[in-house]
Structure 1
Amino acid sequence: MIMPIRQFQAQRMHAPRDFQMIRPEPVCVEIGAGKGKHALLFSTQKPEKQLIAIERTREKYLAMQKQHVVEGQKNLQPIHADAMPWVVHALMPAQVEQFFILYPNPEPHNSAQRWLNMPFFEFLLSRLQVGGTITLASNIAEYIAEAEQQLINIWKLPFVKEVINSTSARTHFEIKYLERGELCQQLIITKPTDYSTRFDDFMPLQGQVVVESIPLQTDLNRGQ
């Protein structure tokens, strides 16, 4: 079932408490980084990449921060914040090389809150570079199947679906699910050339943005 997508109201997002701007350079961003297992691993394996790891839950953020102090990766910046307002206020258009959304809450009682069903996903795409990717992983087959349909029918984005190897250990959830023998899958979503959104000119910390209230299906140039 294809969910109707409303227009995201970026101008209504307040900056997170103790918010600080980041440098306007290319970055990778993990949303819902948990205790930071993937963030710490990625930043170690990719020292040339700058990774920002966002976690809303204080306990998990503190665990990530503590381990980061021990390991000391200079290319990793843990952030304690709600991802949506932080992304709106911190990131420039086309700044992000990669987004990682690994094993998000499947929102079984509120499907409108799943990532590809949210109006915010359009804003997320505006922050992604041309050729940049979004990695969405889940152990729930229905979640992946619905996301595929949204990519085809709403967002019109190319993607690759992969089965995650049983030896993968990027997050604590991934380890647990694979040890149980569950099927874990991921979608690698790519932003093509000439893909545009209504937020491509939205700049952080501006008081307002001018957007037209027209249906999503007609106001996105999807590079086709």
Structure 2
Amino acid sequence: MTDNIDLTHQQERAFQPQKLSAPRDFIIPNIINDNKDEKPLMLEIGAGKGKHALSFSAQNTDKHLIAIERTRNKFEAFSKLATLQNLSNLDAIHADAIAWTVHAIKPNSLAKIFILYPNPEQHNPNQQWLNMPFFEFLLSRLQVGGEVILVTNIESYMDNAEHQATKVWCLPSTRSRVPATSQRTHFEVKYLARQEVCWELSIRKPKWYKTRFDDWQVSAISEK
């Protein structure tokens, strides 16, 4: 790619991270500042009761997953299971994902981001992840060659996400059907059992990619 590539996303309304306060009881996991084993760092947004986070961490001990859930009852169920399994490569976080990411994640630090079966926001499409200005900030936290995995059972949501990835965020993506045997989340199990089609979008961050937040981070992170 050349330096003249049209980064359409930089013409969009900019996210304003400086206006977000840190979540209540905010703590930065040790892995953020002390990844001495250089494990690839993963982020899951909307972990629910933790089915994917727990199985992924158990099966990928060479990677470290930070899994965020905002809803209290879902997080409490997740937290209990995480405590029982006691996986050293998993951090379960109860917080709003946007504010937490702004205050905790360094630029160019995530190898992969999972967004599995997000709220479709059918009555408020501006809140769909790829429609939000925050998505540019999220991409700034992703490493070169890193990947965003978005999964949904709603075809219109996937159609829009695929369009936004290409036309707004100028990113290469691959769309595929989720295998009928997949069991990553409780939602996935339920949808596939009903023989619904579930879609997965894999979005990669190329070497040439730039955002307006590549050098932005809160002082609490930069001083550590």
Does the 8 Å contact 1:54/1:79 carry over to 2? yes
> Whole-Å Cα distance in 2 between the matches of residues 18 and 45 of structure 1?
30
The answer to whether residue 210 in structure 2 is matched with residue 185 in structure 1 is no
> Whole-Å Cα distance in 1 between the matches of residues 117 and 28 of structure 2?
27
Does the 8 Å contact 2:166/2:173 carry over to 1? no
Specify every segment of 5 or more residues in structure 1 that has no aligned partner in the other structure, as ranges: 207-224
Tell me which residue corresponds to 1:110: 124
The answer to whether residue 141 in structure 2 is matched with residue 127 in structure 1 is yes
Does the 8 Å contact 1:97/1:128 carry over to 2? yes
Quote how far apart the aligned CAs of 1:162 are. Answer: 1.1
Tell me which residue corresponds to 1:16: 23
Q: Deviations over 1:115-171 (max 9, x none)?
A: 000000000000000000000000000100011111111101011111000010000
Specify every segment of 5 or more residues in structure 2 that has no aligned partner in the other structure, as ranges: 1-8
The answer to whether residue 52 in structure 2 is matched with residue 38 in structure 1 is yes
Does the 8 Å contact 1:5/1:117 carry over to 2? no
> Whole-Å Cα distance in 2 between the matches of residues 134 and 205 of structure 1?
26
Tell me which residue corresponds to 2:102: 88
Quote how far apart the aligned CAs of 1:205 are. Answer: 3.7
Does the 8 Å contact 1:5/1:118 carry over to 2? no
Tell me which residue corresponds to 1:59: 73
Q: Deviations over 1:38-87 (max 9, x none)?
A: 00010011001010000001111111110111112110000000000000
TM-score by length of 1: 0.88
> Whole-Å Cα distance in 1 between the matches of residues 55 and 218 of structure 2?
29
Tell me which residue corresponds to 2:5: none
SS of 2:202's equivalent?
strand
Q: Deviations over 1:77-112 (max 9, x none)?
A: 000000000000000000101000000000010010
SS of 2:22's equivalent?
coil
Q: Which runs of 4+ in 1 moved over 3 A?
A: none
Give the alignment's Cα RMSD to 1 decimal: 1.6
Quote how far apart the aligned CAs of 1:5 are. Answer: 4.0
TM-score by length of 2: 0.88
Does the 8 Å contact 2:109/2:142 carry over to 1? yes
Tell me which residue corresponds to 2:4: none
Q: Deviations over 1:166-212 (max 9, x none)?
A: 01000000000001110001001000002010000111346xxxxxx
Of 144, 156, 171, 1:157 maps to: 171
SS of 1:155's equivalent?
coil
> Whole-Å Cα distance in 2 between the matches of residues 170 and 5 of structure 1?
34
Q: Which region of structure 1 is more displaced relative to structure 2, 18-27 or 148-157?
A: 18-27
SS of 1:92's equivalent?
coil
Tell me which residue corresponds to 2:218: 204
